[in-house]
Chains A and B, each alone.
Chain A
Amino acid sequence: MIRLEHVTKTYPKASRPSLDDVSVSIEKGDFVFFIGPSGSGKSTIIKLLLHEIQPNKGRVVVADRDVTALRSWKISAFRRQIGCVFQDFRLLPNRTAYENVAFALEVIGKSQGVARRVVPEVLELVGLGGKEHRYPHELSGGEQQRVAVARAFVNRPLILLADEPTGNLDPDTSIEIMRLLDRINRTGTTVVMVTHDSNIVNQMRRRVVEIESGKIVRDQPRGVYG
């Protein structure tokens, strides 16, 4: 599903590469943690997979597509296969939970009819049934992240990328979000999560890829943090 082949990425003006000749392969339906200290290059992987940045060397292949060779006008269609969740939720403050999720459908050309059918379903799935018409500021952090997960998942993407999704949440809420991601993973969606939350990694016992100074130092199925 995802393959990095000898990928090197050096940001302009950086003294050393963020990713240094990294190769890793993720199968369909996998659940993978990328862990490592701040600045180790793990968020760079997310940006590469989203085609927000380009590698200096190597290839990034997502869903059998060479992302590095993607034409700029095809990026938008490519991104529809990927759902994305961030530490800061990135919800639209002037829209309700329902509208936030529906917005993601509408701007890629889905009709309101489709939104009316699909959005309540996915909000129910993430455990927000009954709170569809709350605004983000009326929801707790965990609930806001659930809206973000619903938005990322509503289009049934092949891949769900999560960049420190529990970074702003307390431990209990974090576990709930992880249960949610686990449930999504069980539907066959590949989940790639960047984190440095050791609790969660230890509890989930999934594949762990550890990065340090731009290099992969450990790749373990059913691994732990430390």
Chain B
Amino acid sequence: MRAKYILSEVMVGLWRNVTMTVAMIITMAVSLTMLGASLILYQQIDSMKGYYFDKVQVSIFLRDDISTQQRDDLAGQLQADPLIKQPVIHETKEQAWNKFQQQFKDAPDLIAATKKDALPESYRIQLKNPKQYNQVAAEYKGKAGIDEIVDQSTLLSKVFGVLGAAQNLALVIALVQGLAALLLVGNTIQVAAYSRRREVAVMKLVGASNWFIQSPFVLEAMFAGIIGAIIASAAMVVGKIFLIDGSLKSLASLLTPAPWSRIYIMIPILLGIGAVISGVTGWVTLRFYIKK
């Protein structure tokens, strides 16, 4: 009986105020979608970082006029260096040329325009800890026979900087929209409490418990939160189908794949956040609005 009463109050409340309810659901949905996207991006960046930084190489390009003695000295030093993962790969001019041809086989003009011996000989090393690059670079820089030292992680950092910025942007939008959603929830609950002020006064007078008085309002807020979360979850699924597996498919070799499991795990998270946050907001609003 009481459950029936509470549920009918919730439905009447939502319907009486239907434009506000819709506004509440929309802002909630946008906010949760952004939150979900930013969480997925966060996981994505994490797994990509692990994937790429593991493979990062430092290339030590050698001068064309390096002597055999200098090359042997350098090789010995690299192989004995505690900061460097063994084995050290030596790439001759010939190997560099072969690799170059392989990499740019779609651009025969470029290959034709490049002299066979234009590509420098190099040592390809991996650092045990990619962050110690500066230390390693300082050690070898200016050594006889070395032309240039190039660290791929500098480039990678720039890429991840862009991804990180995108993630932060999504997070900021999620927070701003989330704030708007919560203000709307608060406002809707106040309007609902006002339109039911007589009932509330009588209920308090005859000794209805606080949870009983407040639960229709709190459930109303939670309802909006849950519907918003369902829409947000649908948006994530659509995003996975049309964005990740659709138009961004060509970047699949660059981006590590975002599996379905990662999308599915977001659905209960979004539902939980939507329900709890809006419910708590509704409840807190009531504490201020309906004094004892």
Name A residues whose Cβ lies closer than 8 Å to a Cβ of B.
50, 72-73, 75-80, 82, 84, 90, 92-93, 103-104, 106-109, 111-112, 151, 155
Given contacts A90-B202, A107-B206, A109-B212, 7 further A-B contacts (CB under 8 A): A73-B210, A79-B206, A103-B202, A104-B202, A106-B5, A107-B5, A151-B206
Once the chains bind, are B208 and A107 in contact (CB under 8 Å)? yes
Chain B residues whose C-beta falls within 8 Å of the C-beta of A112 in the assembled complex: 1
Assuming A72-B292, A92-B198, A112-B1, is B212 touching A107 (CB within 8 A)? yes
Answer whether residue B155 sits at the interface, using C-beta atoms and an 8 A cutoff: no
Assuming A106-B1, A106-B2, A112-B1, is B202 touching A76 (CB within 8 A)? no
Task: Give which listed residue, A90, A111, A151, contacts B201 with CB less than 8 A.
Answer: A90
Chain A residues whose C-beta falls within 8 Å of the C-beta of B117 in the assembled complex: none
Task: Give which listed residue, B1, B206, B292, contacts A104 with CB less than 8 A.
Answer: B206
Number of residue pairs A-B, CB distance < 8 angstroms: 55
Interface string of B189-209 (1 = CB under 8 A from A): 000000000110111111111
24 A-B pairs within 8 Å (CB atoms) are namely: A72-B292, A73-B210, A75-B292, A76-B208, A76-B209, A77-B207, A77-B209, A78-B207, A79-B205, A79-B207, A90-B198, A92-B198, A103-B199, A103-B202, A104-B206, A106-B2, A107-B5, A107-B202, A107-B206, A108-B206, A108-B207, A108-B208, A109-B2, A109-B212
Once the chains bind, are B205 and A84 in contact (CB under 8 Å)? yes
Min CB–CB distance B290 → chain A (angstroms): 12
* Minimum CB distance partner of A110 in chain B: B1
Once the chains bind, are B207 and A80 in contact (CB under 8 Å)? yes
* Minimum CB distance partner of B212 in chain A: A107
Once the chains bind, are B203 and A107 in contact (CB under 8 Å)? yes
Size of the chain B interface, CB-CB below 8 angstroms: 18
Chain B residues whose C-beta falls within 8 Å of the C-beta of A108 in the assembled complex: 206-209
Min CB–CB distance B114 → chain A (angstroms): 82
* Minimum CB distance partner of A111 in chain B: B1
Most buried by A among B198, B202, B203, B204: B202
Chain A residues whose C-beta falls within 8 Å of the C-beta of B204 in the assembled complex: 76, 79
Q: 8 closest Cβ contacts across the A-B interface?
A: A79-B207, A80-B207, A107-B208, A104-B206, A76-B209, A76-B207, A107-B203, A112-B1
Q: How far is the CA of A138 from the CA of B5 in the complex (A)?
A: 25
Chain B residues whose C-beta falls within 8 Å of the C-beta of A72 in the assembled complex: 292
Q: How far is the CA of A82 from the CA of B210 in the complex (A)?
A: 17
Min CB–CB distance A107 → chain B (angstroms): 4
Q: How far is the CA of A107 from the CA of B1 in the complex (A)?
A: 10
In B31-73, the 8 Å CB interface with A consists of: none
* Minimum CB distance partner of A92 in chain B: B198
Min CB–CB distance A37 → chain B (angstroms): 26
Chain B residues whose C-beta falls within 8 Å of the C-beta of A76 in the assembled complex: 204, 207-210
* Minimum CB distance partner of A152 in chain B: B206
Min CB–CB distance A157 → chain B (angstroms): 9
Once the chains bind, are B198 and A155 in contact (CB under 8 Å)? no
